[in-house]
A and B are shown apart, each in its own frame.
Chain A
Amino acid sequence: MRQLITSLLWLALAAAASSTAWAQAYCALRDPVRQVYELYPGATSYRSIVRTVGAKHRLIIAERLPFTMHFTELGRHTLYAALDGNKPIGLVHVRSERGQWGLVEIAWATDLDMRIVDFKFQRCRERAKSLLDTEEFRAQLIGKGVGDLVGMLNSDYSGVNPSFLQVPAGAEKLAAVVIRCGAKTLAANEVVWGEDLKEIRHLNRGLAAFEGAESVQAVTDPYSSDVRAAVEAALQGVSSAIDRSDVAVLRVRGGNNSLLGTVVRTSSDIDGQRLTKWWSVDT
């Protein structure tokens, strides 16, 4: 009886708490090492960014997609930034999607603007896998964004739309699983890792702008009073059309912490289109 009471006490304590968890012990976690280097052969290493995918993210994704994550998909997940030296060159995220015979795990490579670069089946028990593990199928997904992928699905999102995606006979169901998984990946990357992506994009742009660049530091207040005064004097009352709430200024440094230059990202709304430009200014 004492054993039973002890057991129930422990479990009651556990049930009283609430957080995201991983049903499997963490010693079973393994990085998709092989997939990262296959997807980015030029990568010298990768950096893991672990974040919690919570219920609020699930709701935001539900607003962006016509389908969303299952509750069992919530928890701690990892986005891998593939690096060349210390420069981010792309992203890898592994997502599980329910297939006909079990969970289908796919390693997705995306660029920093959330377009598909490539994908690899990491774990898939479906017979149709070999029909989709082809250059022809891959080529249809490369370069696509969230909207493009959703457009490849049929009206109830359970199958593919043959007008926008060519799939070998017998692989339609698995193709829809792949497309839904890809769309969720792109949406989740942006929603869950949005702040990290901002940093990664800055690092990528900054290090690419100047030869010998080693570090990038964002200026926290790009519109200081001095800058504002200088801009007003230069423009003399003419509007620059630049959205000042969405400006990033990055100081790029080389060896011995020497300043190599500055990279500036500006955004403007022109004819209803958001136009983002990157400017590199040397010292």
Chain B
Amino acid sequence: MRLTIDLSSRMSVNTDSGDVSAAQFMGVDMHKVFSGKKGDWGTAVVQGYVTRIDNQKKHPGFFEGPDDWELVYRIVNFNYTALARGRFNIRVGHFEIPYELEHLINTNGTLRDYMHGRNMGVKGDWGVGGNGDFDKLEYEVALSRGSGNAYFSTGNPYILAGRVGTPRDQRVVTGFSYIVGDIARPGTPRLVLHRTRFGPDIQVHRGPWSVLGEASYGRDAGTGVFNGLVELDWHTPRESWLIYTQTRFFNQVIATRWDDAGSALVGVRFAPGGHWAFSAQIGQELTAFGAAARGGVGSIQIRYRL
């Protein structure tokens, strides 16, 4: 079994208003493989984090306000692996929705992030799914509750999602993802938001450089949406330093015509050993929908795993 206490502290500054916010995460990260005489038959991952936010005006819906404590389940699931030599496994519990880059590059607890929030509004969800590896491809499909961190059925939300792609350890990785669902929106008249998305993702790794990209087309309650992201990475040979830049674009039908917005960010992560990781990131909205003000955020994070 692998068991780690994971502590991190994050501070962010809104570069326009000067507002300072903070988030503290203290959790347990556990990984256990279950084996019998005839081999492994399952893997459990449990990541539960007591999370404190202070002055977080934009926060996930499961926090009750900008200053709050919450127990956040990042990943809590069991993957049954004894069926078909890794070609068909069954996962049950709380897992990341299998969609585009986030499915391959885990960003739970890091400043670096992809577009799950923008595309789905939830990152992890409670449900059941199938996953597996073949010689030339891997896949994961899942049917989940659509309620995110907490399991509830008000409004009967659900998410059906899947990604199929080439093996993630190659120098060029491509994939295609699809989701459809009624995603929980407590407090809104319909209680759910019907969303669809589909699109490709790609990673190209050459020497110390990587280029990653994803694009999603779909609808939010019948309204057209087209989002995308391009990331350029550079790392040192021991991979203790990572520098990345992201350019994000958002297109949405607003009052019968397409409008667009975009943002860019640059980040750095220094992980000198097995325990510490220091990160910093600064992002700026380049264009905004309609007449909305453009904002920017700078963040730093210290993380320690013991």
A interface list, Cβ under 8 A from B: 3, 6-7, 10-11, 13-15, 17-31, 33-34, 37-38, 43-48, 50, 70-72, 74-76, 78, 83, 85-86, 98-103, 105, 122-125, 127, 215
The answer to whether the Cβ of B100 comes within 8 Å of any Cβ in the partner chain is no
The answer to whether the Cβ of B306 comes within 8 Å of any Cβ in the partner chain is yes
- Report whether A23 and B108 are in contact in the complex, using a CB–CB cutoff of 8 Å: no
CB-CB under 8 A for A76 and B35, given A11-B7, A23-B271, A33-B86: no
The answer to whether the Cβ of B15 comes within 8 Å of any Cβ in the partner chain is no
B interface list, Cβ under 8 A from A: 1-2, 4-7, 9, 11, 22, 24, 26, 29-31, 33, 35, 37-40, 43, 45, 47, 52, 54, 74-75, 81-82, 85-86, 96, 106, 108-109, 133-135, 167-169, 171, 205-208, 235, 237-240, 271, 273-275, 277, 302, 304-306
- Report whether A23 and B47 are in contact in the complex, using a CB–CB cutoff of 8 Å: no
Give the shortest distance, in Å, between A148 (CB) and chain B (any CB): 27
- Chain B residues contacting A105 (CB-CB under 8 Å) are 169
Give the shortest distance, in Å, between A110 (CB) and chain B (any CB): 18
- Report whether B9 and A46 are in contact in the complex, using a CB–CB cutoff of 8 Å: no
- Report whether B108 and A21 are in contact in the complex, using a CB–CB cutoff of 8 Å: no
- Chain B residues contacting A100 (CB-CB under 8 Å) are 207, 237
Give the shortest distance, in Å, between A120 (CB) and chain B (any CB): 10
- Report whether A18 and B306 are in contact in the complex, using a CB–CB cutoff of 8 Å: yes
- Chain B residues contacting A127 (CB-CB under 8 Å) are 207
Give the shortest distance, in Å, between A50 (CB) and chain B (any CB): 7
Question: How far apart are the CA atoms of A123 and B173 in the complex, in Å?
Answer: 12
- Report whether A21 and B22 are in contact in the complex, using a CB–CB cutoff of 8 Å: no
Question: How far apart are the CA atoms of A20 and B306 in the complex, in Å?
Answer: 7
B277 contact from A23, A47, A75, Cβ within 8 A: A23
- Chain A residues contacting B106 (CB-CB under 8 Å) are 24-25, 27-28
B40 contact from A11, A13, A48, A98, Cβ within 8 A: A48
- Report whether B274 and A10 are in contact in the complex, using a CB–CB cutoff of 8 Å: no
- Chain A residues contacting B1 (CB-CB under 8 Å) are 50
- Chain A residues contacting B37 (CB-CB under 8 Å) are 86, 215
30 inter-chain pairs at a CB distance below 8 angstroms, sorted by A residue, are A3-B11, A3-B22, A6-B52, A7-B302, A11-B304, A14-B5, A14-B7, A14-B304, A22-B2, A24-B106, A26-B45, A27-B96, A27-B106, A27-B108, A34-B133, A34-B134, A46-B39, A48-B33, A48-B40, A50-B1, A71-B273, A72-B238, A74-B274, A78-B33, A86-B38, A98-B237, A103-B239, A123-B169, A125-B205, A125-B206
- Chain A residues contacting B40 (CB-CB under 8 Å) are 31, 45-48
- Chain A residues contacting B45 (CB-CB under 8 Å) are 26-27
Question: How far apart are the CA atoms of A24 and B135 in the complex, in Å?
Answer: 26
- Report whether B9 and A10 are in contact in the complex, using a CB–CB cutoff of 8 Å: yes
- Report whether A122 and B239 are in contact in the complex, using a CB–CB cutoff of 8 Å: no
Give the shortest distance, in Å, between B113 (CB) and chain A (any CB): 14
Q: Which residue of B lies closest to A203 (CB)?
A: B37
Most interface-central of A23, A29, A50 (chain B CB within 10 A): A23
- Chain A residues contacting B75 (CB-CB under 8 Å) are 25, 27
Question: How far apart are the CA atoms of A95 and B171 in the complex, in Å?
Answer: 18
Give the shortest distance, in Å, between B260 (CB) and chain A (any CB): 33
CB-CB under 8 A for A23 and B302, given A14-B5, A46-B39, A102-B239: no
